[in-house]
Amino acid sequence: MKTSVTIKDVAKQAGVSVATVSAVVNEHKKKVSLSQESRERVLTAIKTLSYKVNTQARMLRTGRSNTIGVIASDLAQPFTAESVSLIEQEVNVRNYSFLLSDILNSKGLEWRYIDLFKQKQVDGYLFIGASNEFDNKAIVALIENGIPVVLTERDLHEHSVPCILVDNVKGAYLATNHLISKGHERICFISGPESNLITHERLKGYRKALAEKNLTHFEQLEPAHGMGLKHGYDAANKLLCSQPRPTAIFAFNDMLALGAMKALREAGLRIPEDIAIVGFDDVPVAEFAGIPLTTVRQPRVKMCHIGVGMLLDILEHKYPKGYYAKVILPPELIIRQSS
Amino acid sequence: MKTSVTIKDVAKQAGVSVATVSAVVNEHKKKVSLSQESRERVLTAIKTLSYKVNTQARMLRTGRSNTIGVIASDLAQPFTAESVSLIEQEVNVRNYSFLLSDILNSKGLEWRYIDLFKQKQVDGYLFIGASNEFDNKAIVALIENGIPVVLTERDLHEHSVPCILVDNVKGAYLATNHLISKGHERICFISGPESNLITHERLKGYRKALAEKNLTHFEQLEPAHGMGLKHGYDAANKLLCSQPRPTAIFAFNDMLALGAMKALREAGLRIPEDIAIVGFDDVPVAEFAGIPLTTVRQPRVKMCHIGVGMLLDILEHKYPKGYYAKVILPPELIIRQSS
DNA sequence: ATGAAAGCGCTAACAG
DNA sequence: CTGTTAGCGCTTTCAT
């Protein structure tokens, strides 16, 4: 690998100064006035030498990295993985890079991660998903230091932080109401961990649907101890011991629902005849479950698009200082055969 | 955010020169001789000022980024997502960073990605998974330029490139043989796309098992046009039209198998009574399928550990120039109820 | 419109 | 053992 070509080489080749080269390279940023001629010359020199700016040097000089830190709550969750993939696209389109971390791999070490990213000079942070493991204080500290932060699929109620969310209350309402309309009264909510704010939102929607039909006395909660298949399985097994048994389940997310379905099957229960179930997210595998899973779809693509867009816009000062917005997107009930 | 503290500040605070500070910061790298005293002084200064090295500046100076480029074939595949998560851990442990790209999002643009990463000065590349979309020429070009590259779950037969693989021939053999031992003779292989080298390996194992029992004349191949659930579904539907129908299926991977199961179910076939099926990978959801899926487990954790380890070791010149190895790990047959 | 030059924070000779 | 200093490649005043 021959040593890379620098701005100097280009300048020499084009017979201009480095300043001029820099000017044409960064042309888009400022309305500079360059003569057509030197512009052309520089451009061809760049092409013939196949010059690429050294991002390191630029970062050092400008103090900006054009990189965002993406902190995911659990990459192993299909929903999260897809989000990361989408984010990657958006970030690329806008000519940024991103550093990724999966906080599930470092329970309690979120501070260390943020620190690490800070050291790498990320310009801003994107948090996706709300793992129970995560200490919100770390995010708050960021905000208080004026560092741009955007959250998707996660919220921080009492703070002025931009976040992109599906309407969780409405989604849960839709799911629960659908179950009620199918004639169910005893509907159990397999919730996420207590510490998860989103769980509370969905609980609200669940309760609202129940209340509307005067079913509040049938409310039944079964908190899962995590977000994975196994946790859904365990929760369902516990729930199955309750008397009288619910005739329907609304699970916090699809993975929990899929896990629960295994327990239901093992208990010899038919879905949806003996017990109906609906999930949340609409991960790809939901459609391919033994009994295709009814679920509430989140507008993933839009959420990621808006989330990244907003963060980068903030970084590029396209909003007034202190600006923030909470964007709430509509959920969509996808009815399949599990209900 | 107050302007960050530099090595100069530390030097002043500790009453030493920047060189000394730099020396203690990079202590581990070289057997420098520092007096206990100044070392202590520097260390406390660092702590009180909470100094963090500016990675940008260091990169610029050293020409190394301590960053690797991870190029995944399809993040939406659970197996890949988990690998990324694992890789993240390994990379962190060794104090590196990684840039991630998902080439499925940029069909045919692998060159652009590599270029982008090159511009970000990544020290080496880790390719994971073998999407059919990917043009191996891009990898070959890297290798020929002497840039460190390691592949996991992917191979480049005629090139001297380090790669970490499960024994795909053996895995497929195990799966097929298991099916044969259950009394099956007509076993169809739902293969991956033609262009995928791994598919050929698994095909070999499949054929070997068939040949051993003189079942070669029953060989039946149904290539899937991708690696997703839908592709498995489509492949199975096509396969179901063949007469006589196979009594068992060996699918290239779990997602394909899960997709196929949906088609089987829709056709009114009982699993495993009417038709048995086994997958490959052992993704978490395999165990939670309507009929828990028999599959061949890949030693994910080990593969990622070795892969990252090898790449970083190469970067740190722990191997002689030109060194490479192909590491083949043993697969494990996980028998569940789908067979 | 363009060039000269300073300097971002760091490391690595080289002196002392 | 420690300090001085010269850049790494780039952007950005400030002159011209």
Residue nearest to nucleotide D1 (CA to C1'): B34
Residue A51 backbone phi and psi in degrees, to 5: -80, 140
Contact of B289 with B338, CB cutoff 8 Å = yes
Q: Which of A139, A202, A135 is nearest to A166 (CA)?
A: A202
A84–B120 C-beta distance less than 8 A: no
Chains A–B, number of C-beta pairs less than 8 Å apart: 145
Contacts of B262 in chain A (CB under 8 A): 287-288, 292
Q: Which residue has the tokens 């208080």?
A: A144
Residues 259-278 in A contacting B (C-alpha not used; CB under 8 Å): 259, 261-262, 265
Name the residue with higher pLDDT: A120 or A230.
Answer: A230
Query: Closest to B284 (Cβ–Cβ): which among A147, A229, A288?
Result: A229
Contact of A239 with A249, CB cutoff 8 Å = yes
Residues within 7 Å (Cβ) of strand D: A 3-4, 6-8, 18-19, 21-23, 25-26, 51-54, 57-58, 60-62; B 15-20, 23, 32-35, 37-39, 57, 60-61
The full length of chain B comes to 339
Q: Give strand pairing partners of A327.
A: A164
> How many Å apart are CA A148 and CA A305, to the nearest integer?
17
Determine if strand C comes within 7 Å of the CB of B19.
yes
**Which residues does B132 contact at the CB level (< 8 Å), separation at least 6?**
B192, B193, B194, B195, B196, B226
Query: What is the per-residue pLDDT for B185?
Result: 96
Q: For B7, how many CA atoms within 13 A lie in the half-sphere containing its CB?
A: 15
Q: Give strand pairing partners of A126.
A: A70, A150
A82–B78 C-beta distance less than 8 A: no
Q: Is A300 helix (H, G, I), strand (E, B) or coil?
A: helix
- Is 0.85 surpassed by the pTM of this model? yes
Contact of A297 with A271, CB cutoff 8 Å = no
The distance between the two most distant Cα atoms of chain A, rounded to a whole number of Å, is 86
Query: What is the per-residue pLDDT for B99?
Result: 95
Contact of B315 with B148, CB cutoff 8 Å = yes
% of chain B at pLDDT higher than 70: 95
CA→C1' distance for B19 and C14 (Å): 12
Average pLDDT over residues B9-33: 85
> How many Å apart are CA B241 and CA A127, to the nearest integer?
47
Neighbours of A332 (CB within 10 A): 14
Distance from CA of B82 to the nearest CA of A (A): 5
CB proximity A92 to B under 8 Å: yes
A85–B102 C-beta distance less than 8 A: yes
Q: Mind listing the pLDDT tens digit for each residue in A168-217?
A: 999 999 999 999 999 999 999 999 988 888 999 999 999 999 999 999 99
Query: What is the per-residue pLDDT for B106?
Result: 64
Most confident of A99-103, A132-136, A264-268, B71-75: A264-268
The full length of chain A comes to 339
Contacts of A89 in chain B (CB under 8 A): 102, 105-106
* DSSP labels, B71-102: EES-TTSHHHHHHHHHHHHHHHHTT-EEEEEE
**Which residues does B139 contact at the CB level (< 8 Å), separation at least 6?**
B125, B127, B149, B151, B156, B159, B161
